[in-house]
């Protein structure tokens, strides 16, 4: 699978990114995968997990902000 550019990755929802991580895990569990391909899949999976972590952190900050002042405004 071709590596997604940062711009394409930023358009993913968290759910889509986690689904791609699951695909990477399945590929890594395959007995037919080469060492080179397994390294590539691992790298791409780690990049996706980093992206997911950043997105979840953004949501957590938004939730904390809502909890602090009770407002529901967008604070990007």
What are φ and ψ of residue 75, in 5° steps? -125, 55
What is the average per-residue pLDDT within 65-74?
67
Element (H, E) at 52: helix 35-69
Does position 7 have pLDDT exceeding 60, yes or no?
A: no
Could you tell me the residue ranges of all domains in the chain?
13-28+35-66
- How much of the chain, in percent, has pLDDT values that exceed 90? 61
74 or 14: which carries more pLDDT confidence?
14
4 or 38: which carries more pLDDT confidence?
38
| DSSP letter (8 states) at residue 11 | T
Q: Per residue in 13-42, pLDDT tens? A: 999 999 999 999 999 999 999 999 999 999
């Amino acid at each position: 699978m071709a590596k997604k550019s940062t711009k394409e990755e930023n358009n993913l929802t968290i759910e889509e990114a986690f689904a791609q991580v699951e695909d990477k895990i399945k590929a890594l569990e395959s007995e037919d995968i080469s060492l080179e391909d397994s390294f590539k899949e691992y790298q791409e999976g780690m990049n996706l997990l980093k992206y997911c972590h950043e997105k979840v952190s953004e949501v957590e900050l938004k939730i904390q902000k809502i909890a602090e002042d009770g407002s529901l405004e967008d604070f990007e």
